[in-house]
Each structure stands twice: as C-alpha cells, then as structure tokens.
Amino acid sequence: MMKRFYSLSLVLSLVVLMTGCKNNNNANQGNTNNQSKDQNTQTKISKKNNDTIDLKQRTGIPFQISQATQDTVPLLGIMINLEKNLAVVQAGIWRGDYQIISEAANAIVNHGYIPNREIQKIQAILGKEGLKNFVAADKNLHNKAKELAQAAKDKKMDQIVIRTTELIQRCSSCHVKYRGPLRDNPKWLER
C-alpha cells in the first residue's frame, strides 16, 4: 500500500511540476511589466559592477555535481554521489537548466566502479543470481540516465520529467530489493 502511495505521490508531484512549467509562461505574461523593471534593475546592477548574476547568487543554492572518477569507489560512496546528482537533476528541472540536468545525468552514467572485494560480498550475500540481477539493475540505471541526458540535450522538459521519474522508480525498486539485505547482513561489515 505504501509503495503504491509513494509511486502515486511521485507521479502527481512530477505532473504538477510539468504543469507548472507550462503554465509558468502564461502566468508570467501578466507580470511582464514588473519583471521587465526587475530585470532592468538587475541588468543595471550587473553592468555597473561588471559582474553577472548567476543562478547560485540569485538562489543561494549551489549545484554540486559529483563527478565520476572512473576509479573504484565503495558502494556507499557511489550511492551518495548518485543521490547528489539526482538532486541536481531535480533542481535543474525546477530551474529549467538543461545544461546542468545533462551534466548531472552524465555524472550518473559515469559513476565509479564497485571494488572487487565489495562485489564478492554482494555475491556472498545475494548469491550468483542476485549479483547478476544487481548488475542488471545498474545497467538499467545507466540506460535511463543516458536517456535523461539526451532529453536534456534536446531540451525536452516533458521527456526529462518522464525519464527522471523512471530513474527515481528504478533507484527506489533497487533499494527495496537490495539495500536491506546488504546493509543488514553481518558479512557486509566484515573487512
């Protein structure tokens, strides 16, 4: 029941986001005069100081993409980086920043590799078939992230939202299936 509620609330949130993005243009047309005055003021400030006002300065929230190293990284480190990059994708959606969405999606695609000793632990805990399914889930994540990066490159917000939803669903289903068994198994903590 909770899983169905989570999926429904996620989809509804993304639909609201898509609708908001489309309706934002219509709502903003009525405020054109006020925005023009504000933009002129910002432009004057920018020209006066020879600085540009970037997204971080306006919002106070920096984008923090965790770039892949193509090295081996402990599984927990990989998951933390994936979480950060997915958060950047979502912030990029809210801000309509296609470039940052593409960069974050590509960072997801190119995450680090799990060390061999952890792969051996995963196999010991999940079995050969479980490891095979775990690897398949990771490949699926890569494919969805590639599709997301392409949608961002093509500047198709509706596809970006769909791909992001699919990516979140893939992450969630993988966590439901594998996180508990791995994290809760004493073998995982062995050195």
Mean pLDDT of 158-168: 96
Q: Read off the pLDDT of residues 116-146 as tens digits, 9 standing for 90 and up.
A: 999 999 999 999 999 999 999 999 999 999 9
Cβ burial of 174 (10 Å; 0-12, 13-18, 19+) is middle
Q: Read off the pLDDT of residues 68-91 as tens digits, 9 standing for 90 and up.
A: 555 667 898 899 889 999 999 999
Domains, the chain, in order of start with CATH, read 1-50 (no CATH), 65-191 (1.20.120.10)
> CB within 8 A of 96, min separation 6: which ones?
21, 157
> CB within 8 A of 35, min separation 6: which ones?
28
Q: Does residue 167 carry a pLDDT above 70?
A: yes
d(CA 82, CA 68): 10
Q: Does residue 190 carry a pLDDT above 90?
A: no
pLDDT for residue 53: 40
d(CA 44, CA 91): 28
d(CA 160, CA 152): 6
Q: Read off the pLDDT of residues 43-75 as tens digits, 9 standing for 90 and up.
A: 333 333 343 445 454 445 555 666 655 566 789
End-to-end CA distance of the chain: 38
